[in-house]
Amino acid sequence: MSATQVTAPDLTEAERARVLAKSALFDPPPAQLPDGRRDLVGLSREELTAELAAIGEAPFRCKQLWHWIYHQGVTDFARMSTIAKPLQAKLAERFIVGRPTTVTAQISDDDTRKFLFRFRDGQEAETVYIPDPEEDRGAVCLSSQVGCTLSCRFCHTGTQTLVRNLGAAEIVGQFMAARDAYGEWPSPKGETPRLLSTIVLMGMGEPLYNYANVAKAMTIVMDNEGIGLSRRRVTLSTSGVVPMMDRAGAELGVNLAVSLHAVRDALRDELVPLNRKYPIADLMAACRRYPSASNARRITFEYVMLRGVNDSEVDARELVRLIAGMPAKVNLIPFNPWPGSAFQTSTRVAIERFARIVNDAGFAAPVRSPRGRDILAACGQLRTESRRKGTSPARSAGEVG
Ligand code: SF4
Protein backbone atom coordinates (compact mmCIF):
# COMPACT_ATOMS: atom_id res chain seq x y z
CA MET A 1 0.00 0.00 0.00
CA SER A 2 1.43 3.40 -0.90
CA ALA A 3 1.73 6.08 1.76
CA THR A 4 -1.13 8.07 0.21
CA GLN A 5 -3.49 5.12 0.63
CA VAL A 6 -3.00 4.78 4.34
CA THR A 7 -6.32 5.39 6.08
CA ALA A 8 -6.97 7.66 9.01
CA PRO A 9 -6.70 6.19 12.48
CA ASP A 10 -10.12 6.57 14.12
CA LEU A 11 -10.28 7.87 17.62
CA THR A 12 -11.44 5.11 19.94
CA GLU A 13 -14.57 5.83 21.98
CA ALA A 14 -12.43 6.12 25.09
CA GLU A 15 -10.09 8.58 23.39
CA ARG A 16 -12.99 10.63 22.09
CA ALA A 17 -14.59 10.79 25.53
CA ARG A 18 -11.29 11.79 27.09
CA VAL A 19 -10.70 14.56 24.55
CA LEU A 20 -14.24 15.92 24.99
CA ALA A 21 -14.11 15.81 28.78
CA LYS A 22 -10.74 17.49 28.84
CA SER A 23 -11.67 20.22 26.41
CA ALA A 24 -14.92 21.00 28.28
CA LEU A 25 -12.82 22.15 31.24
CA PHE A 26 -11.33 24.80 29.02
CA ASP A 27 -14.47 26.07 27.29
CA PRO A 28 -14.69 29.78 26.57
CA PRO A 29 -17.26 31.74 28.60
CA PRO A 30 -20.77 32.11 27.18
CA ALA A 31 -21.17 34.80 24.53
CA GLN A 32 -23.79 36.51 26.69
CA LEU A 33 -23.19 39.77 28.52
CA PRO A 34 -24.29 40.19 32.16
CA ASP A 35 -27.16 42.39 30.88
CA GLY A 36 -28.43 39.49 28.77
CA ARG A 37 -27.39 40.80 25.36
CA ARG A 38 -25.68 38.30 23.09
CA ASP A 39 -22.66 38.80 20.91
CA LEU A 40 -23.51 38.10 17.28
CA VAL A 41 -19.88 37.71 16.23
CA GLY A 42 -18.81 34.09 16.04
CA LEU A 43 -22.26 32.67 15.28
CA SER A 44 -22.59 30.49 12.21
CA ARG A 45 -25.15 31.61 9.63
CA GLU A 46 -27.55 28.97 10.94
CA GLU A 47 -27.15 30.18 14.52
CA LEU A 48 -27.58 33.79 13.50
CA THR A 49 -30.75 32.91 11.58
CA ALA A 50 -32.05 31.07 14.66
CA GLU A 51 -31.30 34.04 16.95
CA LEU A 52 -33.23 36.29 14.59
CA ALA A 53 -36.12 33.85 14.27
CA ALA A 54 -36.35 33.81 18.06
CA ILE A 55 -37.19 37.52 17.98
CA GLY A 56 -39.60 37.09 15.07
CA GLU A 57 -37.32 38.17 12.23
CA ALA A 58 -37.22 36.56 8.80
CA PRO A 59 -34.23 34.54 7.52
CA PHE A 60 -33.20 37.24 5.00
CA ARG A 61 -32.17 39.42 7.93
CA CYS A 62 -29.28 37.05 8.52
CA LYS A 63 -27.82 37.92 5.13
CA GLN A 64 -28.23 41.63 5.85
CA LEU A 65 -26.57 41.44 9.24
CA TRP A 66 -23.80 39.21 7.95
CA HIS A 67 -22.98 41.83 5.36
CA TRP A 68 -22.84 44.63 7.95
CA ILE A 69 -20.86 42.65 10.50
CA TYR A 70 -18.32 40.90 8.30
CA HIS A 71 -18.20 42.86 5.06
CA GLN A 72 -18.64 46.40 6.36
CA GLY A 73 -17.11 45.81 9.77
CA VAL A 74 -19.83 47.88 11.44
CA THR A 75 -20.34 47.34 15.17
CA ASP A 76 -23.14 49.87 15.75
CA PHE A 77 -26.64 48.78 14.69
CA ALA A 78 -27.56 52.46 14.16
CA ARG A 79 -25.10 52.56 11.25
CA MET A 80 -26.70 49.63 9.45
CA SER A 81 -28.52 51.80 6.95
CA THR A 82 -30.44 49.08 5.12
CA ILE A 83 -32.17 48.13 8.36
CA ALA A 84 -35.13 50.25 9.47
CA LYS A 85 -34.71 52.29 12.66
CA PRO A 86 -37.23 50.31 14.78
CA LEU A 87 -35.44 47.07 13.96
CA GLN A 88 -32.05 48.66 14.64
CA ALA A 89 -33.31 49.56 18.12
CA LYS A 90 -34.77 46.09 18.66
CA LEU A 91 -31.44 44.48 17.70
CA ALA A 92 -29.46 46.83 19.94
CA GLU A 93 -31.65 45.86 22.90
CA ARG A 94 -30.85 42.20 22.50
CA PHE A 95 -27.49 41.91 20.78
CA ILE A 96 -24.07 43.43 20.39
CA VAL A 97 -21.42 43.14 17.66
CA GLY A 98 -18.40 42.63 19.88
CA ARG A 99 -14.67 43.02 19.67
CA PRO A 100 -11.92 42.12 22.11
CA THR A 101 -10.49 45.13 23.90
CA THR A 102 -7.08 46.24 22.72
CA VAL A 103 -4.90 46.47 25.83
CA THR A 104 -1.68 47.29 23.99
CA ALA A 105 -0.55 47.52 20.38
CA GLN A 106 3.24 47.55 20.09
CA ILE A 107 4.93 48.38 16.82
CA SER A 108 8.31 46.83 16.07
CA ASP A 109 11.20 48.49 14.23
CA ASP A 110 10.18 46.43 11.19
CA ASP A 111 6.50 47.51 11.44
CA THR A 112 5.33 44.19 12.83
CA ARG A 113 2.50 45.01 15.20
CA LYS A 114 1.70 42.95 18.29
CA PHE A 115 -1.70 43.34 19.89
CA LEU A 116 -2.59 42.23 23.37
CA PHE A 117 -6.33 41.61 23.35
CA ARG A 118 -8.49 41.20 26.42
CA PHE A 119 -11.68 39.18 26.30
CA ARG A 120 -14.84 39.61 28.31
CA ASP A 121 -13.73 37.40 31.20
CA GLY A 122 -10.45 39.31 31.51
CA GLN A 123 -8.27 36.65 29.86
CA GLU A 124 -5.78 37.87 27.30
CA ALA A 125 -4.08 36.63 24.15
CA GLU A 126 -1.64 38.06 21.67
CA THR A 127 -2.13 38.57 17.94
CA VAL A 128 0.58 39.67 15.53
CA TYR A 129 0.33 41.44 12.18
CA ILE A 130 3.40 40.85 10.03
CA PRO A 131 3.43 43.19 7.02
CA ASP A 132 5.17 42.08 3.85
CA PRO A 133 8.30 44.24 3.60
CA GLU A 134 7.81 44.80 -0.14
CA GLU A 135 4.11 44.83 -0.86
CA ASP A 136 0.96 46.15 0.77
CA ARG A 137 -0.12 42.85 2.26
CA GLY A 138 0.66 40.82 5.32
CA ALA A 139 -0.18 37.93 7.59
CA VAL A 140 -2.23 38.05 10.75
CA CYS A 141 -1.07 35.47 13.25
CA LEU A 142 -4.03 34.48 15.43
CA SER A 143 -4.06 32.75 18.79
CA SER A 144 -6.39 29.82 19.32
CA GLN A 145 -5.93 29.32 23.07
CA VAL A 146 -4.89 31.34 26.10
CA GLY A 147 -1.67 29.56 27.03
CA CYS A 148 -0.95 26.10 25.69
CA THR A 149 -0.89 22.51 26.93
CA LEU A 150 2.01 21.39 24.83
CA SER A 151 5.12 22.88 26.45
CA CYS A 152 7.33 22.79 23.36
CA ARG A 153 10.77 23.44 24.81
CA PHE A 154 11.78 26.30 22.50
CA CYS A 155 8.46 28.17 22.79
CA HIS A 156 7.67 30.97 25.21
CA THR A 157 3.92 30.28 25.07
CA GLY A 158 4.67 26.73 26.19
CA THR A 159 5.83 28.10 29.55
CA GLN A 160 2.32 29.37 30.21
CA THR A 161 -0.08 26.60 31.20
CA LEU A 162 -3.33 26.36 29.28
CA VAL A 163 -5.89 28.78 30.67
CA ARG A 164 -8.70 28.10 28.24
CA ASN A 165 -9.74 27.74 24.64
CA LEU A 166 -10.71 30.82 22.72
CA GLY A 167 -14.26 30.88 21.36
CA ALA A 168 -15.04 31.36 17.67
CA ALA A 169 -16.01 34.98 18.41
CA GLU A 170 -12.66 35.58 20.08
CA ILE A 171 -10.71 34.05 17.21
CA VAL A 172 -12.57 35.96 14.48
CA GLY A 173 -12.59 38.96 16.82
CA GLN A 174 -8.77 39.11 16.85
CA PHE A 175 -8.78 39.41 13.07
CA MET A 176 -11.58 41.97 13.04
CA ALA A 177 -9.99 44.10 15.74
CA ALA A 178 -6.68 44.05 13.84
CA ARG A 179 -8.60 45.13 10.72
CA ASP A 180 -10.15 47.96 12.76
CA ALA A 181 -6.65 49.14 13.68
CA TYR A 182 -5.70 49.35 10.01
CA GLY A 183 -9.09 50.70 8.93
CA GLU A 184 -9.46 47.91 6.40
CA TRP A 185 -13.23 47.93 6.03
CA PRO A 186 -15.26 47.15 4.01
CA SER A 187 -13.66 43.78 3.25
CA PRO A 188 -11.88 43.97 -0.11
CA LYS A 189 -13.66 41.78 -2.66
CA GLY A 190 -12.14 38.72 -4.33
CA GLU A 191 -8.51 39.18 -5.28
CA THR A 192 -8.47 42.94 -4.62
CA PRO A 193 -5.22 43.57 -2.72
CA ARG A 194 -5.63 43.73 1.02
CA LEU A 195 -3.30 44.71 3.80
CA LEU A 196 -4.37 41.91 6.12
CA SER A 197 -4.23 39.35 3.36
CA THR A 198 -3.59 36.02 5.04
CA ILE A 199 -4.36 34.33 8.32
CA VAL A 200 -1.95 32.00 10.01
CA LEU A 201 -3.10 30.09 13.07
CA MET A 202 0.33 30.10 14.61
CA GLY A 203 -0.12 32.29 17.66
CA MET A 204 -0.69 31.04 21.18
CA GLY A 205 -2.08 27.52 21.47
CA GLU A 206 -2.51 24.35 19.47
CA PRO A 207 -5.43 25.00 17.06
CA LEU A 208 -6.30 21.32 16.72
CA TYR A 209 -6.86 21.08 20.48
CA ASN A 210 -9.58 23.67 20.01
CA TYR A 211 -10.83 22.40 16.70
CA ALA A 212 -14.55 23.21 16.96
CA ASN A 213 -13.97 26.89 17.69
CA VAL A 214 -11.15 27.22 15.18
CA ALA A 215 -13.18 25.53 12.45
CA LYS A 216 -16.18 27.74 13.10
CA ALA A 217 -14.03 30.87 13.07
CA MET A 218 -12.33 29.91 9.83
CA THR A 219 -15.65 29.08 8.19
CA ILE A 220 -16.73 32.62 9.06
CA VAL A 221 -13.60 34.31 7.70
CA MET A 222 -13.80 32.28 4.49
CA ASP A 223 -17.47 33.14 3.85
CA ASN A 224 -17.62 34.98 0.53
CA GLU A 225 -20.27 37.44 1.62
CA GLY A 226 -18.23 38.62 4.55
CA ILE A 227 -14.50 38.74 5.14
CA GLY A 228 -14.11 36.45 2.14
CA LEU A 229 -10.57 35.12 2.56
CA SER A 230 -10.06 32.11 0.31
CA ARG A 231 -8.92 28.87 1.90
CA ARG A 232 -5.58 29.31 0.20
CA ARG A 233 -5.04 32.36 2.36
CA VAL A 234 -5.57 30.53 5.62
CA THR A 235 -2.89 28.33 7.17
CA LEU A 236 -3.46 26.13 10.15
CA SER A 237 -0.35 25.22 12.05
CA THR A 238 -0.20 22.12 14.21
CA SER A 239 2.37 20.41 16.33
CA GLY A 240 0.94 17.15 15.05
CA VAL A 241 -2.43 16.24 16.55
CA VAL A 242 -2.66 13.41 14.06
CA PRO A 243 -6.34 12.34 14.33
CA MET A 244 -7.54 15.92 14.01
CA MET A 245 -5.41 16.62 10.96
CA ASP A 246 -7.59 14.32 8.87
CA ARG A 247 -10.71 16.09 10.04
CA ALA A 248 -9.30 19.55 9.38
CA GLY A 249 -8.25 18.47 5.91
CA ALA A 250 -11.66 17.08 5.05
CA GLU A 251 -13.75 19.88 6.56
CA LEU A 252 -11.69 23.03 6.08
CA GLY A 253 -9.14 22.26 3.37
CA VAL A 254 -6.98 25.18 4.43
CA ASN A 255 -3.20 25.15 4.06
CA LEU A 256 -1.35 23.04 6.56
CA ALA A 257 1.82 23.93 8.40
CA VAL A 258 3.45 21.37 10.65
CA SER A 259 5.78 22.33 13.48
CA LEU A 260 8.32 19.59 12.92
CA HIS A 261 11.53 20.92 14.51
CA ALA A 262 13.22 17.52 14.80
CA VAL A 263 13.55 14.52 12.52
CA ARG A 264 14.30 11.82 15.09
CA ASP A 265 11.74 10.69 17.65
CA ALA A 266 14.16 10.80 20.57
CA LEU A 267 14.84 14.49 19.98
CA ARG A 268 11.32 15.43 18.94
CA ASP A 269 9.98 13.75 22.10
CA GLU A 270 12.00 16.34 23.98
CA LEU A 271 11.40 19.42 21.84
CA VAL A 272 7.73 18.79 21.01
CA PRO A 273 6.46 16.47 23.75
CA LEU A 274 3.29 15.71 21.75
CA ASN A 275 5.57 13.50 19.67
CA ARG A 276 5.43 10.89 22.43
CA LYS A 277 1.76 10.42 21.56
CA TYR A 278 1.97 10.89 17.80
CA PRO A 279 5.48 10.01 16.64
CA ILE A 280 7.09 11.20 13.45
CA ALA A 281 6.03 8.23 11.30
CA ASP A 282 2.34 8.78 12.20
CA LEU A 283 2.69 12.51 11.66
CA MET A 284 4.25 12.12 8.22
CA ALA A 285 1.55 9.61 7.21
CA ALA A 286 -1.10 12.16 8.22
CA CYS A 287 0.67 14.80 6.14
CA ARG A 288 0.61 12.51 3.11
CA ARG A 289 -3.12 11.98 3.63
CA TYR A 290 -3.80 15.71 3.94
CA PRO A 291 -5.81 16.88 0.89
CA SER A 292 -3.36 19.58 -0.14
CA ALA A 293 -0.63 16.95 -0.44
CA SER A 294 -2.58 15.30 -3.23
CA ASN A 295 -3.39 18.42 -5.23
CA ALA A 296 0.12 19.86 -5.20
CA ARG A 297 -0.59 22.56 -2.65
CA ARG A 298 2.46 22.48 -0.51
CA ILE A 299 2.56 21.54 3.13
CA THR A 300 4.86 23.80 5.09
CA PHE A 301 7.18 22.22 7.61
CA GLU A 302 8.32 24.66 10.27
CA TYR A 303 11.78 23.96 11.56
CA VAL A 304 13.28 26.10 14.30
CA MET A 305 17.05 26.16 14.04
CA LEU A 306 18.64 25.39 17.41
CA ARG A 307 22.39 25.56 17.61
CA GLY A 308 23.99 22.14 17.99
CA VAL A 309 20.61 20.52 18.65
CA ASN A 310 18.81 19.89 15.36
CA ASP A 311 20.89 21.69 12.73
CA SER A 312 23.39 19.08 11.49
CA GLU A 313 23.84 17.81 7.94
CA VAL A 314 22.54 14.42 9.08
CA ASP A 315 19.38 16.12 10.34
CA ALA A 316 18.93 17.90 7.00
CA ARG A 317 19.29 14.66 5.05
CA GLU A 318 16.82 12.87 7.29
CA LEU A 319 14.37 15.72 6.81
CA VAL A 320 14.67 15.31 3.05
CA ARG A 321 14.02 11.59 3.41
CA LEU A 322 10.92 12.19 5.52
CA ILE A 323 9.28 14.59 3.09
CA ALA A 324 10.39 12.87 -0.13
CA GLY A 325 7.62 12.81 -2.73
CA MET A 326 5.42 15.31 -0.90
CA PRO A 327 4.63 18.79 -2.25
CA ALA A 328 6.40 20.44 0.64
CA LYS A 329 8.27 23.52 1.68
CA VAL A 330 10.49 23.90 4.72
CA ASN A 331 10.54 27.16 6.66
CA LEU A 332 13.80 27.46 8.53
CA ILE A 333 13.27 29.67 11.56
CA PRO A 334 16.36 30.94 13.35
CA PHE A 335 15.47 30.49 17.02
CA ASN A 336 14.02 33.64 18.55
CA PRO A 337 15.28 33.92 22.12
CA TRP A 338 12.98 34.89 25.00
CA PRO A 339 13.73 35.56 28.67
CA GLY A 340 14.93 32.35 30.28
CA SER A 341 15.10 30.28 27.10
CA ALA A 342 17.69 27.50 27.13
CA PHE A 343 18.60 27.49 23.43
CA GLN A 344 20.74 29.47 21.05
CA THR A 345 20.13 30.31 17.42
CA SER A 346 22.06 28.18 14.91
CA THR A 347 25.01 29.84 13.26
CA ARG A 348 24.56 31.42 9.84
CA VAL A 349 26.85 28.78 8.38
CA ALA A 350 24.84 25.91 9.86
CA ILE A 351 21.56 27.41 8.63
CA GLU A 352 22.91 27.90 5.11
CA ARG A 353 24.35 24.39 4.99
CA PHE A 354 21.04 22.95 6.17
CA ALA A 355 19.07 25.03 3.65
CA ARG A 356 21.37 23.97 0.80
CA ILE A 357 20.83 20.25 1.45
CA VAL A 358 17.06 20.69 1.54
CA ASN A 359 17.17 22.94 -1.54
CA ASP A 360 19.33 20.53 -3.51
CA ALA A 361 16.72 17.87 -2.89
CA GLY A 362 14.18 20.06 -4.69
CA PHE A 363 12.38 21.67 -1.76
CA ALA A 364 12.12 25.39 -1.11
CA ALA A 365 13.78 26.10 2.21
CA PRO A 366 13.56 29.84 2.88
CA VAL A 367 15.21 31.13 6.01
CA ARG A 368 12.58 33.20 7.76
CA SER A 369 13.99 36.53 8.74
CA PRO A 370 12.90 37.15 12.30
CA ARG A 371 10.12 39.74 12.53
CA GLY A 372 9.16 41.74 15.55
CA ARG A 373 11.88 40.27 17.78
CA ASP A 374 12.33 43.58 19.62
CA ILE A 375 8.74 43.43 20.90
CA LEU A 376 8.72 39.64 21.49
CA ALA A 377 6.33 39.18 18.58
CA ALA A 378 8.36 36.66 16.60
CA CYS A 379 7.63 32.94 16.27
CA GLY A 380 7.54 31.20 19.63
CA GLN A 381 7.82 34.40 21.66
CA LEU A 382 4.18 35.04 22.56
CA ARG A 383 3.01 34.81 26.13
CA THR A 384 0.55 36.61 28.39
CA GLU A 385 0.14 36.85 32.13
CA SER A 386 -3.28 35.18 32.03
CA ARG A 387 -3.63 32.22 34.30
CA ARG A 388 -6.38 29.87 35.35
CA LYS A 389 -8.49 30.93 38.29
CA GLY A 390 -7.38 29.21 41.45
CA THR A 391 -3.94 28.23 40.19
CA SER A 392 -0.70 29.36 41.69
CA PRO A 393 1.14 32.15 39.88
CA ALA A 394 2.12 31.27 36.32
CA ARG A 395 5.35 29.36 35.96
CA SER A 396 8.31 31.53 35.29
CA ALA A 397 9.74 31.60 31.82
CA GLY A 398 12.72 29.57 33.04
CA GLU A 399 10.63 26.57 34.03
CA VAL A 400 10.29 25.17 30.55
CA GLY A 401 9.11 21.71 29.55
S1 SF4 B 1 4.95 25.85 19.74
FE2 SF4 B 1 2.72 26.04 19.61
S3 SF4 B 1 2.01 24.05 20.43
FE4 SF4 B 1 4.15 24.26 21.09
S5 SF4 B 1 4.02 25.21 23.14
FE6 SF4 B 1 4.25 26.87 21.62
S7 SF4 B 1 2.13 27.54 21.20
FE8 SF4 B 1 2.03 25.49 22.15
- Nearest ligand 1 atom to the CA of 151 is 5
| In a shared domain, residues 82 and 158 | no
On whether residue 180 sits in a domain, the answer given is yes
| In a shared domain, residues 208 and 329 | yes
Which pTM value belongs to this model?
A: 0.90
Catalytic residue among 51, 124, 126, 206: 126
Per-residue pLDDT tens over the stretch 281-316: 999 999 999 987 666 689 999 999 999 999 999 999
- The answer to whether residue 126 is catalytic is yes
SS3 152: coil
The pick from 141, 239, 275, 306 for probing ligand 1's pocket by mutation, whose C-beta has the most ligand atoms within 8 angstroms, reads 239
Residues framing ligand 1 (Cβ under 6 A) = 148, 150-152, 155, 157-158, 204-206, 239, 259, 380
On whether residue 397 sits in a domain, the answer given is no
Residue 381, pLDDT score? 78
- The answer to whether residue 134 is catalytic is no
Question: SS3 helix, strand, coil % of the chain, rounded to 5?
Answer: 35, 15, 45
| In a shared domain, residues 341 and 198 | yes
Could you tell me which residues are beta bridge partners of residue 334? 305
On whether residue 105 sits in a domain, the answer given is yes
Per-residue pLDDT tens over the stretch 216-258: 999 999 999 999 999 999 999 999 999 999 999 999 989 999 9
Report the CATH number that the domain containing residue 144 is assigned in CATH. Answer: 3.20.20.70
How many domains does the chain contain in total?
2
- Which amino acid type is present at position 74? V
Could you tell me which residues are beta bridge partners of residue 302? 259, 331
Residue numbers of the domain that contains 48: 38-96
**Measured CA distances, 189 to 71, 72, 184, 311, 364 (Å):** 9, 11, 12, 43, 31
**Measured CA distances, 309 to 264, 267, 278, 304 (Å):** 11, 8, 21, 10
- Pick the residue whose CA is nearest to atom 5 on ligand 1: 158
Residue 165, pLDDT score? 95
Q: CA 112, CA 17: separation in Å to the nearest integer?
A: 41
Report the CATH number that the domain containing residue 67 is assigned in CATH. Answer: 1.10.150.530
Q: CA 327, CA 341: separation in Å to the nearest integer?
A: 33
Q: CA 33, CA 131: separation in Å to the nearest integer?
A: 34
The answer for residues whose C-beta is within 8 angstroms of residue 293's C-beta and 6 or more apart is 4, 287, 299, 326, 327, 328
